[in-house]
């Protein structure tokens, strides 16, 4: 069985305050994109209980710290199914990027195991398991745009006003999500930086985590400001806690030409990728 695990972007991300459980109360609009990791999930032919997990990115953990491995374990605990399984992950979504790659991999694993073993867990059951793995994981079960509230685990499917053409841009460093949340309250805006909401094609783009992230990683602030000056770009925003900044493009824009300009004028080591939102 082969599955796609799509990346996400946050069209808006607002922090409402800190909760008594230590998490932050948020409201965000997330959308899946055409950028995806790929998973192959198979039963072990000899029926042994073993889990064999492999990933083509050696920098990622392969043990209990990996969300795919944790997804298998909580699926087994929930269903009592302990048949052997072999999972190979082809990692295409960069990690530490604010694109939800690990969370998407975990959600795809839960859905794949549910189908592979015929356990018939319903959507509510899967969302309950997903929420144990991380705040973003339930979103990826919907395979559509969604408003996410609570700490992110309460998801309500919605429609975007349109599918957006995007250019993703990520420097050669990541941003730890817990750090970004931890610095949010005491962070200060950079002088001259516009953090206000942008309106484009019926959607609103704003991200409360830009303030702490830009304060430390000034290159990301410069990248966003530079993108907003380009005629091809209708809006530009940090996705989640970053370090990816995405540009929302006008329909006739050439993303490859813009990518070349980023590498020439902002950072020659910048990873860029054109894609589009789904659902």
Residue 223 is part of a domain; what is its CATH number?
3.30.70.890
CB 148 within 8 A of CB 27: yes
Whole-prediction pTM: 0.94
In total, how many domains does the chain have?
2
**42/1 Cα distance (integer angstroms):** 6
Which tens digits make up the pLDDT trace of 87-122? 999 999 999 899 999 999 999 999 999 999 999 899
Residues 47, 107, single domain; the answer is yes
CB 93 within 8 A of CB 35: yes
Non-local CB neighbours of 9 within 8 Å, separated by 6+ positions: 30, 31, 33, 99, 166, 237, 239, 244, 246, 277
**231/237 Cα distance (integer angstroms):** 16
The residue among 110, 139, 157 that closes a domain is: 157
Element (H, E) at 74: helix 67-79
Paired residues of 78 in beta bridges: none
Tokens 């899946």 correspond to 32
Residue 90 is part of a domain; what is its CATH number?
3.30.230.10
Residues 50, 143, single domain; the answer is yes
pLDDT given at position 97: 95
The CB density around residue 143, as the number of other CB atoms within 10 Å, is: 16
Q: Single out the residue of 232, 236, 218 nearest to residue 261, CA to CA.
A: 232
Query: Which two three-digit tokens encode residue 108?
Result: 């795809």
Distance from chain centroid for Cα 67: 13
Residues 191, 119, single domain; the answer is no
Residues 138, 82, single domain; the answer is yes
Paired residues of 151 in beta bridges: none
pLDDT given at position 49: 75
Residues 152, 169, single domain; the answer is no
Q: From first to last of the 279 residues of the chain, give the pLDDT tens digit.
A: 999 999 999 999 999 988 878 788 999 999 999 999 999 999 987 766 789 999 999 888 888 889 999 999 999 999 998 889 999 999 999 998 999 999 999 999 999 999 999 998 999 999 999 999 999 999 999 999 999 999 888 999 999 999 999 999 999 999 999 999 999 999 999 999 999 999 999 999 999 999 999 999 999 999 999 999 999 999 999 999 999 999 999 999 999 999 999 999 999 999 999 999 997
Catalytic site positions: 8, 136
Tell me the three state secondary structure of residue 78.
Answer: helix
CB 133 within 8 A of CB 106: yes
The residue among 125, 141, 157 that closes a domain is: 157
Q: Quick one: how many helices (H) and strands (E) in the chain?
A: 8, 12
Residues 132, 177, single domain; the answer is no
Residues 141, 203, single domain; the answer is no
Residues 200, 262, single domain; the answer is yes
Residues 135, 217, single domain; the answer is no
Residues 80, 59, single domain; the answer is yes
Residues 125, 145, single domain; the answer is yes
Whether the ω angle into residue 151 lies within 30 degrees of 0, i.e. cis, is no
Residues 63, 29, single domain; the answer is yes
pLDDT given at position 21: 80
Non-local CB neighbours of 46 within 8 Å, separated by 6+ positions: 84
Tell me the three state secondary structure of residue 124.
Answer: helix
Q: By residue range, what is the domain housing residue 26?
A: 2-157
**104/7 Cα distance (integer angstroms):** 7
pLDDT given at position 190: 96
The residue among 107, 128, 157 that closes a domain is: 157
pLDDT given at position 47: 61
Tokens 């043990």 correspond to 63
């Amino acid at each position: 069985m082969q599955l796609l695990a799509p990346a996400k972007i946050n069209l808006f991300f607002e922090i409402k305050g800190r909760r008594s459980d230590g998490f932050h109360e948020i409201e965000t609009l997330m959308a899946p994109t055409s950028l995806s990791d790929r998973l192959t999930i198979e039963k072990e032919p000899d029926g042994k209980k073993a889990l064999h997990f492999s990933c083509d990115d050696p920098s990622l953990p392969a043990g209990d710290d990996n969300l795919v491995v944790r997804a298998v374990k909580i699926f087994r605990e929930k269903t009592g199914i302990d048949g052997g399984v072999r999972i190979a992950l082809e990692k295409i979504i960069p990690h530490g990027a604010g694109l939800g790659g690990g969370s998407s991999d975990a959600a795809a694993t839960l859905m794949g195991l549910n189908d592979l073993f015929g356990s018939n867990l319903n959507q509510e059951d899967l969302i309950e398991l997903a929420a144990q793995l991380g705040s973003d994981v339930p979103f990826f079960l919907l395979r559509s745009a969604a408003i996410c509230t609570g700490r992110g685990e309460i998801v309500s499917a919605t429609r975007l006003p349109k599918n957006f053409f995007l250019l993703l841009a990520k420097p050669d460093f990541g941003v730890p999500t817990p750090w970004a949340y931890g610095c949010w309250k005491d962070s200060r805006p950079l002088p001259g930086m516009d953090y206000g909401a942008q309106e484009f094609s019926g959607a609103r783009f704003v991200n409360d985590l830009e303030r702490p992230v830009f304060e430390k990683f000034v290159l990301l602030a410069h990248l966003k400001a530079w993108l907003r000056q380009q005629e091809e770009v209708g809006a530009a925003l940090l996705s989640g806690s970053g370090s990816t900044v995405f540009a929302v493009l006008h329909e006739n824009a050439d993303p490859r030409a813009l990518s070349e300009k980023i590498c020439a004028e902002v950072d020659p080591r910048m990873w860029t990728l054109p894609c589009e939102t789904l659902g």
